[in-house]
Structure 1
Amino acid sequence: MADRNYTLSDFDYALPPELIAQQPAAERSGSRLLDGRRPPPVDRVFRELPALLDARDLLVFNDTRVIKARLFGNKDSGGSVELLVERLLPGTQEVWAHLRASKSPKPGSRIRLGDADERFGAELLGRCGPEDSLFHLRFDGDPLALLERHGHVPLPPYITHADTTEDASRYQTVFADKPGAVAAPTASLHFDAALLARLPCPRASVTLHVGAGTFQPVRSENLDEHRMHSECFELPQATVDAVAACHARGGRVVAVGTTSLRALESGALGGTLQAGAAETALFIRPGFRFQVVDALVTNFHLPKSTLMMLVSAFAGYEHMRALYAHAVAQRYRFFSYGDAMWLERSASEPLKCRT
């Protein structure tokens, strides 16, 4: 349990800007892996991960697929607009999106999107989402097909170059399946086909479509005032069964990425892990009682972010402070295209229940 009331400043740390990775490693599994299960930390290479696993373990991946969610265009008045699609509304031509313009268009107005030599239209239906922060639009065609043809890879705001053909491949996992994410489940970017073939344990999957809210800053020192963005997730019955079998044989459930962890822990909020599709706005911070996940593979996260709070809740606040200090001192590469770390749940936080 949390031994004090944490504030936003407790999750800050100094990061030299040059450690923010602007390009992926030459080889996916050639990135570095900080083995932070217990002190002292061990500096490894990601392709060593299979040797750290046991046949009884279970790796749970997020099989979402990043869509080309960023679009550029113009209003009928001629003013430029930038659109970042946040959510596809199933079975429709409608989307929820973030929209940037010098002046927001009004409901009923039209915008033209895509490159100058080939455009498609969209109608603004109104505002939507939390505090009407998003725009509800209807595209003149299938949104997924139009985004694939006209859209750009939605690179995070701290990556400064325009998206390239390399980003279209590398900002996507090798097993990406279900389209809908506007940010990659970055811990999974380190896995390539050769590494997957060497895993000594079974695999399972969840689907959580990562939203742009994953980069949303926490604006209040009082964490009780922060409201998480909501994301869609789906937990298959086969994964629920695989988790139960893993724990029954004495193995560890290893979440690959914070998105996999949030999906699993969201599915267990009722006391037992349940299959199904739902929305989650779960805010994991010190004091949270984990129910499912034993170990975590994750990238390094932004200062003062909810993901820094999540890993601190999982592995222990002081332990994470020490690991991040080590990573900075050893010049690890940070954030989406950066290196990874390997964590186990703090022994002071036993699992609340087993499935």
Structure 2
Amino acid sequence: PLLAALVALACACGQKEVAPSLDLVTAACAGTPPLDGVTHLRFRVSGPGVESAHERVSTVRWTAGDVPALPVGSARVLEVRAYAGAPDQGGPLLSLGRSAPVDVAEGQDASVRVFLRRLGEFAPVNLASSPDTCAAMRETRAGHTATLLPDGRVLFAGGYRPDAKGARQASGTTEVFDPQTGTFSPGPDVGPRAFHTASLLPDGKVLLAGGAEALEPASVQRTARVVDVTAGTASAVEPKVARYQHVAAVDAQGHVLLVGGRSADGSGVFTAEGFDAASGRFVDVPTEVPRVDAAVTVLGDGRTLVVAGGADATGPQAEVLGFAFEGNTFSRLSGGARLLVPRVGASVAMLGREEDGPRPVLM
């Protein structure tokens, strides 16, 4: 054990390492047990500057010495894959789990917890303190947002649920899911809103913008909150336009573009606006964007935002609009592509590895 510890702490190619203490949760509160049929495990460490050599394979009866050391640095993630048979001999992957990002400091202990989950199954979240017990959100909600935070936690905000008379009233509550414990804890109040947008800012805070306070009839919000989950605060900022069912995307510098949506009478909102995280203010966007039910995302350069699909008064649109923050607002970029098939209410996803420059795909 002493020799193993010395090897784990040794400098590899000038990079110091720390042997982690791994808590691998292999029980489930529902569905197929994660280790059912598993014979081998693959441990892999990833993170900024981490080489692919930080990987080891063991049998399902793993020991602490089978877990690769974590290089000193930030945002280290330990991934565990479970196979039926040796992975290098084509054994199928059955279960998978990843830790939350962890910062590793030289000379300090590194504790990591990984929940192993069965592939191809939807299963409730289970508690780390009692893995056979399923966790549940603190309240039912629909029309809410879910935002992945830099530390691996997830912020759920707003949404609605029917009251005793069946009316859909919006909620102003938030709750935070912690993947390390499998628990949901209350967050700050953000004012009642549903069908709003949530944008993760570079500093880890979240901008919640717009939304509907009530849905029958619609009462639309011209409010926004900047939520700091760590501090437990929600600071008010004021948009220029009331809207709900809109879309938003943020560039690498924290500039948020809000597009489309509907007003209280159901008509489309064609006035775009921006938010500058550095100043904490909303800004006018001089170009109208007559799109409802469009999709918006940031490209791999971190600067260009594209609006694709959606409909104007004439119907679904194929033209893809590009925007970039220049000076003190967003400007429309010249040129642009066209969709092969105009579509409304589509989703957009980035496909491909980060190092290869992922591309957006509209679905």
TM-score bracket relative to the smaller structure: under 0.3
Higher strand share: 2
TM-score (norm 1): 0.24
TM-score (norm 2): 0.23
- Please say which structure displays the higher CA radius of gyration: 2
Higher relative contact order at CA 8 Å, sep ≥6: structure 1 or structure 2?
A: 1
